[in-house]
Amino acid sequence: MKVLISADMEGVSGVVHPTETNPGGYDYERSRHLMTAEVNAAVAGVLEAVPSAEVLVADAHGPFRNVLPEHVDRRARLARGRPRPLGMLAGLDDRTDAVLFVGYHARAGAGPAVLAHTISDAILDVRIDGRPMGEIGLNAAMAAHHTAPVVLLSGDDAACAEIHDLIPGTTTVTVKHALGQAAAVALHPEEVCDQIHRAAAKAIRRADSVPLLTVPGPVRVEVDLYSPATVDLAMLIPGVTRASGGRTVAFTAEDMGEAYRLVQLLTHLGQIKPA
């Protein structure tokens, strides 16, 4: 059995402010330790359920270099660094049997939700066939493209509600309750790790019963971009057009795999400063 654990940071217990999630910021190093501990709890749960499982952890926050390699459970492998194929889902393929989202957050515009956003500040919204989707939805749909169900998510109450709306069968661990964009009531980190451990084991054992978030092709995608300059750059991509509103671009992808990669590319374009 192959299992992918995609780990973000905004949904980790105790993390509530942007400076805690950015390298060099106040308490970022503490956040790295908290994130690594939650990842290890998920690894332990997976291997409790299936001791022979092949477990790959994809560091999926910011620079993709946050999880502390020397402290990761030695039974797992770690994907880190960027850019890379499939971004937050590095290592996903047709052999993957289950995906776990650890430390995830709600999409841009959700609220109250801790550190809610979609991929980066360059993106205001993404709509797949007219349905708004953040990282949870996009990554779950991409996992489904490879027939891998998302069996577990840990994060704040908004993130848990978001995945339940998309995939009712996913097991969730609510590590904190949002009071706002940068405030929450959080569980103790050790309690969170205990809960993630138990939930991961349970989720893996019932993986076959979790439905896929399948998005059949062709896929119509609309992306609201923060910067008009990014819209101008996006016009250089074949098949991408301006949509109404001035900040929106649209394209039709053959399938969810192509749609996911193009959204990644638009995100990277949004980080380019105009000359």
Q: Point out the residues that are catalytic.
A: 117
Instruction: Please report, for residues 4, 37, 119, 180, 219, the alpha-carbon distance to residue 174 in angstroms, rounded to integers and kept in the order given.
Output: 20, 16, 21, 15, 32
Using alpha carbons, list the distances in angstroms from residue 33 to 6, 172, 260.
16, 21, 30
Q: Which is nearest to 101 in space by CA: 195, 6, 200?
A: 6
- Residue 45: name the closest of 71, 15, 90, 76 by CA: 76
Q: Residue 25 gets which letter from DSSP?
A: S
Q: What does 81-98 look like in DSSP terms, one character per residue? A: -SS-TTGGGTT--TTEEE
Angstrom distance (rounded) from CA 192 to CA 93: 29
Distance CA 89, CA 24 (A): 25
Count of C-beta atoms within a 10 Å radius of residue 52: 6
The span from the first CA to the last CA of the chain, in angstroms, equals: 48
Place of tokens 């999409």: 107
What's the rounded Cα separation, in Å, for the pair 177 and 173?
A: 11
Strands 219-225 and 123-128 turn out to be antiparallel
Q: For residue 54, which amino acid is it?
A: E
